[in-house]
Amino acid sequence: MTWLHDWSGIITGWLLFAIVLSGTLSVFRPEITLWMQPELTRQTVDSDQATEAAIAWLSAHASDSPSWYLDTATPRAPFTLAFWSDKNGYTQRPLDPVTGSPDGLRDTRGGEFFYRFHFELQLPYPWGRLLAGIAAMALLLTLITGIIAHRRFFADFFTFRPGKGQRSWLDAHNLLGVIALPFHLMIAFTGAVTLASLFFPWSATALYKGDTAGMQHDLNPAAIERPRSGTAAPLAPFDAILHTAQQHFGKTGIAQIAVVNPGDRAAVITMTAGNEDSIGITSHTISFDGPTGAILAEHIERRPAIMTYNVLYGLHVARFAPGVTRWLYFVSGLILTALIGTGLRLWTVSRARKVSHFSTILVARLNVGFIAGTPAAFASYFLVSRILPAGLADRAGLEIRCVFLIWGALLVFAALRPVRKAWPEILTLAAAACAAVALFSAPWHRAVDAAGAIIAILLAASFTFAARRSSLKNRII
């Protein structure tokens, strides 16, 4: 079990480190997007008015798009997040809650970047999701074998001996593993379950024989698909459709809206209720006829198997979570990130006498590039978002490319520099980047800017402490 624990961790550890860190940040996905939109100064918005404004703008400027997808405005995200396709391809933009237009708001992926990277790794479908699914299963395997291998399970919770070299790293790794173990197991298991259909597609393949549309309809009977008729027809008054949906959904409100075939007689408007009052997701869906506003189908999910999946998925993404629970998710995610990092670090520390061995040198250099370089690269995403001109073409794509360019440069730097020197240098860079994020949060006229600055300052202090410790003489790096 110890052998399996060590090698399953070291093979997938760097990938898991990036996946878990990005997933931890995506707990505050709407807040990150809002931080990257300093133009949005409204504290509260009317969700229905913001939706109507967005639909009006899309009707005028994206009428040729085959479909629109909207995440409605919420207290956490006082803007409408819209997805549509145009001549330039896929477009995702926050829309002003008053005008419904993206004009005046800088083009940015915001927190969506971390959310998507967490399970897609910025790779084409399905390769990123396959790698993320493999990593999730490896994490679950590593946790279970770690529990079996560490016989002093409860004693580890109360044991930490600083300044003892390898012993200290092992104590830290054990403590981080035990202190939030229920969260670690839950997040690994639910992460693997959400991507399970990629690894076990055979039951659906055998039952539906390639009929993907039939399978999707059975999963959500209220999702109506109609081919485009070619006959133009405007959408029915949207305020009436929103009012009808609100009456059916009750206090849960409207979370997502899809408009398929807009401007066509075959247009369908599908609305999904929110899930802030329950752990599970996607429990209530209504489809409307676009031109008339009549209800075509309505479905409230009560099937046990699908409800079980929805609850597991809901536990993973934590959209239901109130403020305190979100912070617990965030802190637990940082603990899991540190658990993976200390495990990778412990592997090289335990083999310090074999520093000339190629595998030890390789792992040591990759550790520097990933454990210290990933936070620095992710922090640069926030800086680039504030530095790039607001009206720059393809600005959102350039933000993401800068992250990977900086990340790649840090990996190369870690590969070329002596390991003992690379650790404090890249950790210092990460600390400086976090401190700069705190500065760019000023003036703190919004709660999200103040919270972002406080988190950035705490992270900068942590990286400064780590850089100082790693630069001490005679310390094993």
Identify the CATH assignment for 220-315 out of 3.30.1760, 3.40.50, 3.10.450, 1.10.3820: 3.10.450
Bridge partners of residue 269, in order along the sequence:
259, 288
- pLDDT the model gives residue 356: 58
Q: State how far the Cα of 82 lies from the Cα of 151, in Å rounded to an integer.
A: 51
The pTM score is 0.93
The pLDDT, as a whole number, for residue 473 is 46
Q: What is the pLDDT of residue 61?
A: 93
Instruction: Give pLDDT, residue 190.
Output: 97
Domain-by-domain residue ranges, the chain?
A: 1-36+108-214, 47-107, 220-315, 351-477
Q: Is residue 355 pLDDT above 60, yes or no?
A: no
Q: What are phi and psi of 350, to 5 degrees?
A: -70, -15
- Pairwise pLDDT comparison (348 vs 235), residue with the higher score: 235
pLDDT at 41 (0 to 100)? 81
Q: Is the pLDDT of residue 477 over 50?
A: no
Look at residue 157 in the predicted model and tell me its pLDDT.
Answer: 64
CA torsion sign for 321, 322, 323, 324 is: negative
Determine the pLDDT at residue 134.
Answer: 96
The overall longest dimension of the chain from CA atoms, in Å, is 77
Q: What's the pLDDT score for residue 354? A: 57
Please report the pLDDT score of residue 351 as a whole number: 77
Q: How far is CA 256 from CA 161, 252, 265, 293, 316, in A?
A: 50, 12, 22, 17, 19
- The Cα 361–Cα 425 span in angstroms is 18
Q: For the residues 384-388, what does the mean pLDDT come to?
A: 95
The full 3-state SS of the chain, as one line of letters, equals CHHHHHHHHHHHHHHHHHHHHHHHHHHHHHHHHHHCCCCCCCCCCCHHHHHHHHHHHHHHHCCCCCEEEEECCCCCCCCEEEEEEECCEEEEEEECCCCCCCCCCCCCCCHHHHHHHHHHCCCCCCHHHHHHHHHHHHHHHHHHHHHHHCCCCCHHHHCCCCCCCHHHHHHHHHHHHHHCHHHHHHHHHHHHHHCHHHHCCHHHHHHHCCCHHHHHHHHCCCCCCCCCCCCECCCCCHHHHHHHHHHHHHHHCEEEEEEECCCECCCEEEEEECCCCCCCCCCEEEEEECCCCCEEEEEECCCHHHHHHHHHHHHHHCCCCCHHHHHHHHHHHHHHHHHHHHHHHHHHHCCHHHCCCHHHHHHHHHHHHHHHHHHHHHHHHHHHHHHCCCCCCCHHHHHHHHHHHHHHHHHHHHHHCCHHHHHHHHHHHHHHHHHHHHHHCCCCCCHHHHHHHHHHHHHHHHHHHHHHHHHCCCCCC
Q: How confident is the model at residue 132 (pLDDT cuts 50, 70, 90)?
A: very high
When pLDDT is averaged across residues 273-301 and rounded to a whole number, the result is 91
Count of alpha carbons within 13 Å of 208, Cβ hemisphere only? 15
What was the pLDDT predicted at 396? 94
pLDDT of residue 350: 80
Pairing mode, strands 254-260 and 80-86: unpaired
Distance (Å) of CA 440 to CA 15, 16, 106, 368, 426: 29, 29, 16, 27, 21
* Backbone angles phi and psi of 426, in degrees to 5: -75, -35
pLDDT number for residue 342 = 93
Contacts of 98 (CB under 8 A, 6+ apart): 42, 49, 50, 53
Residue 476 reports pLDDT greater than 50: no
Among 9-23, 138-152, 175-189, the range scoring the smallest mean pLDDT is 138-152
- pLDDT at position 213: 84
Q: Is the pLDDT of residue 475 over 70?
A: no
Is 407 or 469 the better-scoring residue by pLDDT? 407
The owner of tokens 């073409």 is 393
pLDDT given for residue 251 in this prediction: 86
pLDDT on residue 153: 65
Q: How many CA atoms lie within 13 A of 168 on its CB side?
A: 7
User: How sure is the predictor about 225, in pLDDT bands with cuts at 50, 70 and 90?
Assistant: confident
Mean per-residue pLDDT, 12-31: 97
The pLDDT-based confidence of 120 (bands split at 50, 70, 90) is: very high
User: Given this model, what pLDDT does residue 343 score?
Assistant: 94
Query: What pLDDT was estimated at residue 158?
Result: 65
- Beta-carbon contacts of 390 under 8 Å, excluding residues fewer than 6 positions away, are 39, 106
In tens, the pLDDT along 148-198 reads: 887 776 666 667 777 666 777 788 888 898 899 999 999 999 999 999 889
Q: Which of 177, 242, 233, 191 minimizes the C-alpha distance to 9?
A: 177
Look at the block and give the residue holding tokens 């001490």: 472
86: pLDDT strictly greater than 60: yes
User: What does the pLDDT average to over 56-69?
Assistant: 94
- The pLDDT, as a whole number, for residue 472 is 74
450 pLDDT band, cuts 50/70/90, is very high
Average pLDDT on 395-403 reads 96
Residue with tokens 């209530």: 284
Average pLDDT of the chain, as a whole number: 91
- In this prediction, residues 187-210 reach a mean pLDDT of 90
Encode pLDDT of 314-351 as tens digits: 999 998 888 899 999 999 999 999 999 999 998 888 87
